Structure 1
Amino acid sequence: MIKYVTTPIYYVNDIPHIGHAYTTILCDMFKRYQVLKGKECLLLTGTDEHGQKIESSAKARNKTPKEYVDETSFKFQNLWNKFDIAYDYFVRTTNEAHDMGVKRAFEEMYKNGDIYKGHYEGNYCISCETFFTKRQLVDGIFCPDCGKETNSIKEESYFFRLSRYEKKLLDWYKANPDVIMPLNKKSEIINFIEGGLSDLSITRSGFKWGISLPPFIDDSKHIMYVWLDALLSYITPLGYGNDIPNKIYLFNNATHFVGKDILRFHAIYWPAFLMSLNLPLPKQIYVHGWWTIDGVKMSKSIGNVVNPDDIANTYGLEVMRYFLIREVPFGQDGDFSHKALVDRANADLSDTLGNLVNRLLGMSEKYFDLNIESENFDYLKDEINEVSTIIKSLESYMTNMTPHKYLEELWKIFDIANASIAKYEPWAMMKAGKKDEVQSLLVFISNILSKGALLFYPILPHAAREIMKCLKVDFSYFGKLIEDDGLLNKFSLTKIPPLFPKLEIKTSNVIEKKSDIKEEIDISQFNKIDIRVGRVVEADILKDSSKLLVLRIDFGENVGIRQIVSGIAKHYSPDELKDMLVCAIINLKPVKLMGILSEGMILSAEDSSGILRLISANDIEAGSVVR
């Protein structure tokens, strides 16, 4: 059966960031692995282009919404093309065929009695395009997901009878225990459903940029809720409800990759919509974590958004692919740093893999003019068995979506090859006249690299092809070398350029802001920033974080005590901070960091070596204004 894998449909309110790249590379890896195993797999990605946030962003740039989304959607598609993402479908929610399919779905759900008209009263987060109840809000007004201030809204709306599908959803999870991976994410969803599902508002009437309701409704005041619109983009390119050739059968074997922040939409709303439409449900929903910078979620407002195009240009696309997949266990949050990327690339790609290829080519050319042959591997029996055991274990890691472990285990076969060179010292064997034993060793190493290149192809497709070209093997060898656990006896090698030269840390041009000096502002803009001196009353390490501290800071009687979360735990202990006078911006909108509300930002400075120091103010009272 053909597998069908999807990225989320990315919201085009800004350029792609490292989180978008991570999800897309994971899906590309998944597809390439299926194809490697001889299975057909189709990959869908695309852009979500409707909603109030898009309308506002376009207006701020003096563009029409369509002009704005055309420009931004192109940036996504162009980047995936540049990154050689093997996608088969690129859907845009502004396409006419998608518009037709969404209207058809609305009509079908309406006919099935799952849509009705009513009124909604609650708090709405424009950033998340989501309504929240009072009990869900932070301090009665702030969004529990993004921390931004919500708006109180009362409006007419069409509702989807989500409550009708409560039992069906729970039965589905019971019958399909592995449908959400990692499993702890499924438990979160089940607990949410068991708490009771409210019917879902699926239209908006406060703005115009969206898909209108089907003509039979005859209600021009309303447009579709952006999440109903976006989720249906997984099936409209397959011909649902439009004139595209019908391939909806592909959805019988669908796999979604999503970030943890949009799991509820994919694990509750989406299957309920599909149940209403009598369509197949996803076979798998893989849920990954966020990428953070110094323990803080990336945010354009604080200027720490990492541009994946700049990283690829600076360090190499394959280095970035390897780092993102290898560095962090799937499902957990990962912290991006240039040092970690460079250290990982130099150790694994340059020292272990690249050096092994260079040593093989060097010895093969010096001793045998690049032509090596052997059928006797008796003295390498232990190494051969060890490599075989490792390779047989790899399938389970990819099946259970633990690609970091897959790479960790796979790299052990290259360690075995390098260790065998040190152990048997082929240069000494040549001096001792053991030419056949040296050829056996080099043929063994060539087999390890052949097997390894085939197996890491889904993660490093370019490097895999280069090594296969060097060894004159191709994908047709997968059966003999991997499935049958065989060995090749003869290689005629071709020299290739070094695959992974040593890297140095380069921090310029890899953060979204490309200049050390920010854009000019006038004094009136600066005066909007409220910076005060505050005395640290308490400081504690944030549970489950190695980088965040929770501070309670007294800013004097006019402001009082504020709670601020700061990524300084690697530079200061809580005891050091007690009674320190620090400077902080106190009029930033509150945000939640790892579930904890932060009501400001402490000012600090970081030198070129990474040492961070807080901006302190001695001999001045708490509450003093910094001008």
Structure 2
Amino acid sequence: MPTGGQGSQNPEGGRGGRVCRHLRGDRDAATGGRRAAHARARGAEGGGTGRIVSQAPRTYITTPIYYANGEPHIGHAYTTLLADTLARYQRQAGADVLFLTGTDEHGQKIQEAAEKRGLSPIELCDEMAARFRNAWKRLDIGHDRFMRTTEADHLAVVGAFLTRLDARGHVYADTYRGWYCVHEERFWTEKDLAVGGLCPTCDRPLREIEEKNYFFRMSHFQGDLVRHIEEHPDWIVPETRRNEVLGFLQKPLSDLSISRPRARVSWGIPLPFDSNQTTYVWVDALINYLTASGAIDPNAAADDQGFDDVAGSRWPADLHIIGKDIVTTHAVYWPTLLMGVGLPLPKRILAHGWWTVGRDKMSKSLGNTVDPLELREEFGTDALRWYLLREMPTGSDASYTPERFLARYDELANVLGNLASRVTSMIVRYREGQVPDGDPGGLDGAIVGTLERFHAAMTALRVHEGLDSAMDLARTVNGYVETSEPWALAKTPSRGGELDAALATLTRALVVISALFFPVMPGKMTELAAGLGLNEVPPLQAAARIVPAGLRVRKVPPLFPKPEAVDT
């Protein structure tokens, strides 16, 4: 979602005339599809406006929706894996999680890219959405909804949202004069331009434009937004991004153009009150968070009746995860739009850093992107997941190098993989594969301390610190192997009780380790749990309480073999 946008329509325009390949069939069929999607978003069984019946705490986590004009790259992968890891952590804690990602499928950039390839816009979007879906499947990303902004329920929700915004007096028409960047899908003023009159973000040539737009009175909500940020110091994390937004808000806030003339940008959602204008892609894209939440009924008339009781939906989102380059859009445009329609703001925004190559941001425009699927093929899915989340301090930048990737892979192989193989081999060798009934408490202090640090880090959204604590426990357990020396104890029958305690302690520690590492490496930790005789990786809160005695263990093969032997 570096730019936004979703939807399509026929040449006649207007809300009723919208044509999209996803809306084939008669009007009743389309309405039925919207009902089903709305019911799923609200957690209902079988449609209607049902309410959530689960008693589990609910968590709603989102990524940006990614612009459908390029291949998934390592930056996309990081954002989505960060969300997936936090979603898995919340599920381990018993939460009912909705994890949203998807593709942003409207706007002039899509329109022109499709024309260059001789495709219709929806054909291009179909192709790119499939590529993102495939990439996330291969990276073991377990999203609950993949939003495409050309879908029926989203088209209706955008119409309802904009109708309410207009009805409340926050929209007006005016003429815009300025410089427009197609790549960034945004206008610039003369004072913003880079040397040579180029876009200050991507250094591309700009188009001078004068046209009719509709504007949202964003300036009206500037004071309310500043107060919200000041009263909620953890609303934007890290603090550097919060300060950046507050600095931006020190200057008078301009009103926001929310439309483009249909004559120039035909591939977009028509404004419900002017079919000759299409919705600005960023506005369209941001509203996807509401569509998935079930907060707006897409079947109701596009007025206040379409806005359901928010308490019965997933809104507000618990966490928007974004890159730092789109923090203004999410921390200024989005909350003021929500204020305009009277909906609550998202609870937190995490703006992470960039992946760089050298000192340059990794981006399609610079041609220096890294294909995450190529790394996966060589090293395996979980090794890639580990590298991305361990290497980048949450909120800061990180530089990709093959050398650092190999160092992180070696860390997995030498610390975690070797530990799993050694411990399970000793249980098979010394106790015929059955965990003995010994005292498993030899590492109680280390386990309790690690769990406390892990939970604190994950709750604070400092995922890299949580993973550090998990790896520190693995190192501690390796140290216990060396100091307890099970191989020496096995040589002395009179020390059988000590051997039983050591093996039970090590098994319990591995069970806890499998739960700690599961959010980031679900595949390998499922393998480890199976080797320990468990049907699945236990929830974190239960892992330390499992009594290992009697578990049937088999030797776990190397979890992280040499790259040429990796089975992905």
TM over 0.5: yes
Give the C-alpha shift of residue 204 in structure 1. Answer: 1.1
| Distance in 1 separating the partners of 2:367 and 2:256 | 34
Alignment check: 8 A CA contact 2:390 2:464 kept:
yes
CA distance in 2, matches of 1:377, 1:72: 51
Kindly provide the CA deviation profile for residues 347-403 of structure 1, in whole angstroms up to 9, marking residues without a partner as x: 2x111111111111221122111112233368x4xx432332222221110011111
Residue matched to 1:33: 89
- Who is 2:465 aligned against? 405
Contact 2:532 2:551 in 1 (8 A): yes
Map residues 474-513 of structure 1 onto 2, 5 A cutoff: 474-475=536-537, 478-482=540-544, 488-503=548-563
Unaligned ranges ≥5, structure 2? 1-56, 301-305
1:279–1:302 distance in 2 versus 1, CA, 3 Å: closer
1:453 matches 2:517: no
Q: Equivalent residue of 2:511, what SS?
A: helix
Instruction: Kindly indicate whether residue 432 of structure 2 is the aligned counterpart of residue 369 of structure 1.
Output: yes
Q: Which entry has the higher C-alpha Rg, 1 or 2?
A: 1
The residue number in structure 1 matching 2:523 is: 462
**1:100: which partner in 2?**
156
Cα 1:390–1:124 change in 2 (3 A) is same
The alpha carbon displacement at 1:4 in A equals 0.7
Query: Quick one: which of 202, 226, 230 aligns to 1:146?
Result: 202
Count of residues in Structure 1 that have an aligned counterpart in Structure 2 = 497
For residue 319 of structure 1, report the CA deviation from its aligned partner. 0.4
Q: Is the 8 A contact 1:443 1:490 kept in 2?
A: no
2:349 is the counterpart of 1:285: yes
8 Å contact from structure 1 (residues 238, 247) kept in 2: no
AA of the residue aligned to 1:429 = L
Deviation at 1:491, TM superposition (A): 3.0
- Distance in 2 (CA, whole Å) between partners of 1:95 and 1:366 is 57
2:182 aligned to 107, 123, 126, which one? Answer: 126
Alignment check: 8 A CA contact 1:211 1:223 kept: yes
Which of 168, 186, 211 aligns to 2:269? It is: 211
Equivalences for residues 583-602 of structure 1 within 5 A = none
Q: 1:64 to 1:377 in 2, by over 3 A?
A: closer
Mapped contact 1:338–1:505 kept (Cα < 8 A)? no
Question: Would you say the 8 A contact 2:378–2:564 is kept in 1?
Answer: no
Q: What is aligned with 1:233?
A: 288
What amino acid is aligned across from residue 429 of structure 2 in structure 1?
K
Larger RCO, structures 1/2 (Cα 8 Å, 6+ apart): 2
The residue that corresponds to 2:393 in the other structure is 329
Deviations 1:283-313 (A, max 9, x none): 0111111111233222335432211122212
Partner amino acid, structure 1, of 2:271: L
Q: Take 2:346 and 2:109, find their aligned partners in 1: how far apart are those partners?
A: 29
Is 1:271 equivalent to 2:323 in the alignment?
no
Equivalent residue for 2:137, pick from 81, 84, 87: 81
Report the residue type matching 2:103 in the other structure.
T
Query: CA separation in 1, counterparts of 2:414 and 2:537?
Result: 26
Measured against aligned partners, the alpha-carbon deviations of 1:493-523 in whole angstroms (never above 9, x if no partner) come to: 13343211123699xxxxxxxxxxxxxxxxx
Q: State the match for 2:121 in structure 1.
A: 65
Return the alpha-carbon distance in structure 2 between the equivalents of residues 470 and 202 of structure 1.
56
Higher mean C-alpha displacement, 244-253 vs 185-194: 244-253
* Match in the other structure for 1:391: 451
1:480 Cα offset (Å): 4.0
Mapping of residues 44-55 of structure 1, within 5 Å: 44-55=100-111
TM-score (norm. length: structure 2): 0.83
The one-letter code sitting in structure 1 at the alignment partner of 2:421 is N
Q: In the superposition, relative to structure 1, how do residues 456 and 247 fare at CA in structure 2: closer, same or farther (>3 Å)?
A: farther
CA distance in 2, matches of 1:505, 1:203: 54
Q: In the superposition, relative to structure 1, how do residues 477 and 181 fare at CA in structure 2: closer, same or farther (>3 Å)?
A: closer
Report Cα offsets for 1:165-208 as digits up to 9, x if no partner.
00110111122111111111011111111211000111112221
Structure 1 partner of 2:488: 428
**What residue is the counterpart of 1:625 in the other structure?**
none
What percent identity do the matched residue pairs reach? 36
Paired residues of 2:526 and 2:537 also in contact (CA < 8 A): no
What secondary structure is seen at the aligned counterpart in 1 of 2:477? helix
- Structure number with the higher strand fraction is 1
How much does 1:490 deviate? 4.2
CA shift in 2, pair 1:338/1:438, >3 Å: same
Contact 1:398 1:406 in 2 (8 A): yes
Decide whether the 8 Å contact of 1:120 with 1:157 is kept in 2. Answer: yes
Contact residue 177 and residue 210 of structure 2 kept, 8 A: yes
Once structures 1 and 2 are overlaid, which stretch shifts more, 265-274 or 240-249?
A: 240-249
Q: Is the 8 A contact 1:446 1:491 kept in 2?
A: no
Matched, 1:224 2:279: yes
Distance 1:34 1:176 in 2: 22
Name structure 1 gaps, 5 residues minimum: 507-627
CA distance in 1, matches of 2:386, 2:217: 44
More helix by share: 2
1:259 corresponds to: 323
TM-score, L = length of structure 1? 0.76
The answer as to 2:363 corresponding to 1:294 is: no
Give the whole-Å Cα distance in 2 for the aligned partners of 1:181 and 1:391: 23
Structure 1 residues 490, 388: closer, same or farther in 2, change over 3 A?
A: farther
Instruction: Return closer, same or farther for 1:312/1:247 CA change in 2, 3 Å cut-off.
Output: farther
